Amino acid sequence: MKSFDMKKALVYAIHAEIEANEFYSEWAKNSQGHLRKELEELAKWEDSHRDSLTKYFEDTYNEKFARNAKMVVDPALKVQADEFKDNYQLLKIASTVYLSEMKAMELYQEMENASTGKASKMFAELKDMEKDHMATAKKRYDEIREHIVGFRAF
């Protein structure tokens, strides 16, 4: 059985949070109104997670986190800009956010399972935040869908 490498998982998770923040922040700059507000809120979520993970990494490994420009983040954790070109962009954002947050939740669950004590608690809290973000994205998806197509989810 392959052992879990917490240090590598942390580096990967931090990179995923950084890239998600950059994507949402950049897109928000070129957006207006409600879309801009949604994207800025998403960027804040990612900032918060990056900061928590970076602090834990630096405290645990007694080294400064350094971003690796060559790090490749799994497409399921990396939001793709080219998916949002039609009139349903808010709906696609909400569904993509949901899936991205779900993948992040699964990663933090694995990190929680592979750690103990304070670290396990932090990963559990991040996992729970991702669950909350999933619920927010689902709620937003349902609201947008109802508005766009007059559909109410049951």
Give the start-to-end residue ranges of the domains of the chain. 6-149
Contacts of residue 16, defined as CB under 8 A and 6 or more positions apart, other chains included, come to 73, 74, 77, 78, 104, 107
Query: Cα–Cα distance between 141 and 149 in angstroms, integer?
Result: 12
Q: What is the pLDDT of residue 69?
A: 83
Does residue 35 contact residue 89 with C-beta atoms inside 8 Å?
yes
Does residue 153 contact residue 145 with C-beta atoms inside 8 Å?
yes
- Helix, coil or strand: residue 69: coil
Range of lowest pLDDT (9-23, 24-38, 87-101, 137-151): 137-151
Model confidence at 92, pLDDT cuts 50, 70, 90, reads confident
- In the block, which residue shows the tokens 């927010």? 136
Domain 6-149 falls in which CATH fold? Ferritin (1.20.1260)
Q: How far apart are the first and last CA of the chain?
A: 43
Instruction: For the full predicted model, state whether its pTM sits above 0.75.
Output: no
Q: Is the pLDDT of residue 94 over 90?
A: no
